[in-house]
Structure 1
Amino acid sequence: MKKFLFFIFTIITFNSWSHEIRPAFLQIIQNSDSSYDVFWKVPSLGDGVPKISPVFAPFFSVEVLEQPNQIPGSVIYSYRINSNKPLQGSIITIEGLNKTLIDALVSISYLNGEKVTLMLQPDKTSMIIPEKETLLNTIKTYLILGTEHILLGVDHLLFVLALLLITPGFRKLIKTITAFTIAHSITLSLSALGFVGLPGPPVEAVIALSIIFLAYEIIKYYRGEESIAINHPWIIAFAFGLLHGFGFAGALTSIGLPQTTIPAALLFFNIGVELGQILFIVSAIAIIWLIKKSKISIPDWVKLVPVYGIGSIASFWLIERIVSFWA
């Protein structure tokens, strides 16, 4: 476990200070029989912005509504497209997407209340726009979104990693991860359906605080001390899992749920989150096994370095997110 800590922390530290590559987001809102407002959000990497852009059928005229708006981590472009022909049945293409590793989520809202969600990827940059959402498309789109959200969410992965480090034994680990899964599934579902809700910025700040708490508990665990988190980690996993569920729901809410297939979209987004979580846990356990087999010698004091690192990164996030309350 000590060797694993040293190895995995190096990877996560690098990733946590880099910008996460989130999917690009194209929102199309119909405002009349022949006019649509278009908002194109492109994730940025430092000062660099990928050269990708939506291309509509040639019978649409494109009008730029305002200059690009630079926000932290993204650039937003605003357009209006006009045509006497319907958007349904035409082809939408994301030009340049095949030269990136970015996915592009397309959300279309029609005047009649119908909402369609599409996912374009580097190996599939074009798609015919349907009139209605289909069950198969919903399943595929939201499964991918859920998986990507957890795998790109470094804060959630750090929390899961901290749970792994404080939970010795396979049965105890299964119990702890199951409690975390059940908890965030509850709040994700209730929040996405609008039954409960919490403001996003405070939730994100407390998620960072939960990682700091676990980092402190890991140090106590290494010292041979006892606490609820050490003796009964599933209780802490369940309590903080409820909070993390609100974080997952925030991402899903920003995307929206297709009105005709809400249960399927919610279910498969949740399944995607679980698949990503399982993939991370299995990978972590595999790395532990490989490092144990390699018999690499690492001094005992080194095991504290990743823990303090996890706590420091989470502390930075906490300060940054609290400051953002007034940004």
Structure 2
Amino acid sequence: MIRVLLLILMALVAAPASADELRPAVIELTEREQGQWALEWRLPVAATRAANAAPVAQPVIPESCELLGEPARRAAPLALLGRANLKCQGTLAGESFGLTQLIGNADAIARVEPLDRPVQTFRLTSQEPAAIILAEPDAWQVLRDYFVIGAEHILLGWDHLLFVIALVLLVRAPWPVVKAATAFTVAHSITLVATTFGYTGLPSRPVEALIALSIVFLAVEVALVLRDPDRMTITRRYPWAVAFAFGLLHGFGFAGALADIGLPQGEIATALLAFNLGVEAGQLLVIAFLLVGLAALIRAAPRFEMPTMKVATYLIGATGSFWLIERVIG
């Protein structure tokens, strides 16, 4: 268990400078007129970093479709964009659609939007970079895929993950931590839904800076408690209230990520519900792992508890400070 905790610390050191890793590739096939389709795709820069080792992913179009002219490609901030027009025959049911490949653990979202039938949304993976278009959409497809996306956002989105880890290190008691994490989920759900439906919104740059500040804030509180275990900081007194307040900020970050991914028209409520349930499930998984790991560490090697806590706290604080400075000065 000590080795596992040390590996976690090493992972924190190697945390990417771009903290939010939920920027999957997106490819959409939209029917504009009968038989006339528009193909659009976006590949995040992170998904193309290994282009020297392998070709950049290319769209996989249904066999009954043909390209009308050459695809248009251009570079955008942190992404490569493409667009093409297609002429297709029939309903496309049973045909493949997606990308030629996805590198590493990358995910992608594929959407098919016919004129007269429901939208179909697929989650693509490196093992299955293309999906089979269905005659009728699967009722559970959106719920399943966006639940996984929500869980991945906590497990792979380093800024949100470090916030949860710092919260666990500060509060430590299982039930208060779970209540605080649930308050965090409720809060970010409020701003996520409000932003999605256009009731509110904030520019991404200050939001990302404030999210980094929330990590630094918790790291400082953990450091104060390590110095004086009897000290009652704001978060130790009211963990759920602090988590709720910062959750409102993190919700704007979630909204920005979902705006990149997109939500299926006609299934927006289902997708939002599934995403939030996935975030909560991911949080609870992280909390359970950390609490069990800390309990095992205290039982097996209690003399390593304080050094491990200090190293973890300073790494979290340093990482959050780096992100804060980076996001403030650009």
Category of TM-score, reference length = shorter chain: 0.7 to 0.9
- Out of 313, 316, 322, the position equivalent to 1:316 is 322
* Equivalent residue number for residue 94 of structure 1: 99
How far off its partner does 1:238 sit?
1.1
Instruction: Tell whether the 8 Å contact from 1:120 to 1:127 is kept in structure 2 after alignment.
Output: yes
Q: Deviations over 1:122-177 (max 9, x none)?
A: 34343232476542111122112111122111000100111111113233323322
Quick check: 1:156 aligned with 2:160?
Answer: yes
Gaps of at least 5 residues in structure 1 are: none
- Cα distance in 2, alignment partners of residues 131 and 200 from structure 1: 38
How far off its partner does 1:68 sit?
4.7
What's the RMSD between the two structures over aligned residues?
3.1
How far off its partner does 1:190 sit?
2.3
- Cα distance in 2, alignment partners of residues 132 and 175 from structure 1: 40
Secondary structure, in 3 states, of the residue corresponding to 2:148? helix
- Cα distance in 1, alignment partners of residues 270 and 22 from structure 2: 26
Secondary structure, in 3 states, of the residue corresponding to 2:304? coil
- Out of 282, 288, 296, the position equivalent to 2:288 is 282
* Aligned residue type for 1:307: T
* Aligned residue type for 1:261: E
How far off its partner does 1:17 sit?
4.9
* TM-score, normalisation: structure 2: 0.84
* Equivalent residue number for residue 24 of structure 1: 25
* Equivalent residue number for residue 149 of structure 2: 145
How far off its partner does 1:270 sit?
0.9
Quick check: 1:207 aligned with 2:233?
Answer: no
Instruction: Tell whether the 8 Å contact from 2:187 to 2:251 is kept in structure 1 after alignment.
Output: yes
Instruction: Tell whether the 8 Å contact from 1:22 to 1:152 is kept in structure 2 after alignment.
Output: no
* Aligned residue type for 2:28: Q
Identity of aligned residues (%): 35
* Equivalent residue number for residue 65 of structure 2: 60
- Cα distance in 2, alignment partners of residues 260 and 144 from structure 1: 20
- Cα distance in 2, alignment partners of residues 7 and 93 from structure 1: 35
- Cα distance in 2, alignment partners of residues 46 and 111 from structure 1: 32
Q: 1:222 to 1:197 in 2, by over 3 A?
A: same
- Out of 220, 223, 226, the position equivalent to 2:224 is 220
Q: How many residues align?
A: 321
Q: 1:292 to 1:136 in 2, by over 3 A?
A: same
Q: 1:170 to 1:279 in 2, by over 3 A?
A: closer
Quick check: 1:185 aligned with 2:189?
Answer: yes
Gaps of at least 5 residues in structure 2 are: none
* Equivalent residue number for residue 197 of structure 1: 201
Quick check: 1:172 aligned with 2:188?
Answer: no
Instruction: Tell whether the 8 Å contact from 1:22 to 1:43 is kept in structure 2 after alignment.
Output: no
Secondary structure, in 3 states, of the residue corresponding to 1:135? coil
* Aligned residue type for 2:245: A
* TM-score, normalisation: structure 1: 0.84
Q: 1:18 to 1:132 in 2, by over 3 A?
A: same
- Cα distance in 2, alignment partners of residues 147 and 60 from structure 1: 35
Quick check: 1:244 aligned with 2:246?
Answer: no
